[in-house]
Amino acid sequence: MSRVSARVRSVAAAASRACRPAMRASVAPIPPAARRPTRIPLPPEGARKLVPIAPTPAPQTMATRARKRWTGSGACDMIGNRWWRDGRRAVPHATAGRSREPPPSGSHRHCPVPVSENAVPVSSVPTPQIAHEEADRIPLSQVLGALSHALDLTEGQPWGHAARTCLIGMRIGESLGLDPDTRSQLYYSLLMKDAGCSSNAHATTEFFGTDDQALKAGLKFADWTDPLRLKLFALRSAALGQGVGARVRQLLHMARADEGTGRELIRIRCDRGAEICQSLGFPRATVEAVRCLDEQWDGRGAARGLVGDEIPLLSRIALLAQTLEVFAARDGAARALEVVRGRAGRWFDPDLVAVLRGWEGDHGWWGELYGSDVLSRLSAVEPEDRIIRVDAEGVDRVAESFAQVVDAKSPFTGRHSTRVALLARGIGEVLGLGPVELRDLYRAGLLHDIGKLGISNRILDKNGPLTPLERKQVERHPVLTWTIVGQVEVFAGIARKAAVHHERLDGTGYPWGYGAAELGRDDRILAVADIYEALTATRPYRAGMPPERALSILREMEGVALDSGMVRAMEAFEETGAVPEPGLAPEPGPPP
């Protein structure tokens, strides 16, 4: 059973809190608004609906394709309102009872669609005000702070966890008297600490046979130096919610695994996060801080086993700030401070813990920390003379990086987001769209599935038909996409486009059940790109369809679920030979 013990040791970080009675602190209780709601509500009623857009004229050239039989296997691919299995269309899923309210159309978060592209030129559609700010370069923290909510979802944390961790860590850095350069490096280390969080989601789910988000949330609370609690956590987490037989089989699977599996799972996460930080052009200190996030002062931490001062200072601050935040969010400030002081010299640098002396009495600060304006407070703590600003290309790099985060969550998605973005842009080029419109399509394609970071890998990776409850969870991801992308001002004009990629002209899509009257040109382009990519991409359980077969399926759906003009544009783009190969989309460009 030594292998079980090792396996347990690397995973047991969260259920120990289940064994320990929750202790509410008398100091600065956390307001209910700080806790993530159990479900994100659909957009409210009364939002203005879009007027119809005329179908786009088909390109002059249209390919004539032979229809070849596709011989797929394995789990179903959900494309619009149809399920495909073994090359055959299954019964469409029911659409009754879904919400018909469109996303809010208030202020800058919505661009009206013209009645007809012939009647109202696309160039006359108002440009969101944020476009002018983007031309002058915008603060990188504004984009990353809002997108960090997606990382919170992946880690099973309350909305705003990363932002609050950043606020805590920056207060520690200020107390230490760090110079502006170091504080800037710390700031982005804290915001990007979970950048690699999706890279081990599939492996974690496979190893424990349980929900990856619940597991990761629990791991934040476990004391790795207590073997008994770690073993108990692993025993309780294996195949959680399943029958006795399934749990026994999962425990045997864990016992047969290599001794270092737990550390390897964390190493994957930390290394991937560091790679993303490096691709965005952050300094080495920030990159290494993310890489060493899970190291502990006594050398018993995960990944590399660094000891004491071998651990970068920024990593030590980040781990301390992260632990303070998760315990404060659950148990209150007093309990959080009690926990970190109890782990001083084991988990944490004692000198850093000493900096926290007197924090209990700062009720106002703790109250603001868990207030509703966490993003505005986040921008206020970035060193003023070290604010990083990015131009349009820099914003693209951020969107590309988060697309990689999304696609890394499941091996079944490969490089889906990047390829959808390239396909959508290619269709737009065939239609003669301008540079700004092509950039919007590209960004919307990159971020269209960011809501999937909030869906359990137990569902995303399921090799077989989904249950009604599981399907309902999957159909929630566009709502999460709308919520996340809509928080980023520079993406104001694309949030709705990114969110409605599963809607169909005949009203059979999800989650809002839009029809042709509510779907604009870019919405229709992204729907075609998303389906074509899903059909042609190779999955672990089946080979991708040849282009001819995928296009024939699009033709079957055109005029009913899909716009005929967009399908013909996809055919014309395929004819150019510029369609990216499945899984071989080009890497993002150089850092801004």
CB atoms closer than 10 angstroms to residue 275? 18
Phi, psi values for residue 559, rounded to 5°: 80, -15
Q: How far apart are CA 467 and CA 381, in angstroms?
A: 46
Task: Give the long-range contacts of residues 492-496, CB within 8 A, separation 24 or more.
Answer: 492/108, 492/109, 492/128, 492/130, 493/108, 493/111, 493/127, 493/128, 493/130, 493/131, 493/440, 494/440, 494/443, 494/444, 494/447, 495/103, 495/109, 496/103, 496/109, 496/110, 496/111, 496/523
Q: How far apart are CA 430 and CA 418, in angstroms?
A: 19
Q: Are 276 and 405 in contact (CB under 8 A)?
A: yes
Q: Are 449 and 413 in contact (CB under 8 A)?
A: yes
CA distances from 398 to 171, 391, 447, 546 (A): 26, 11, 10, 32
16-47: b (≥16 Cβ within 10 Å) or e: bbeeeeeeebebbbbeeebebeeebebbeeee
- Cα–Cα nearest to 395, from 124, 146, 106: 146
* 452 assigned to active site: yes
Element (H, E) at 85: strand 82-85
CB atoms closer than 10 angstroms to residue 344? 17
The pair of three-digit structure tokens given for residue 208, joined into one six-digit string: 């424990």
Catalytic residue among 216, 220, 409, 452, which? 452
Catalytic residue annotation: 452
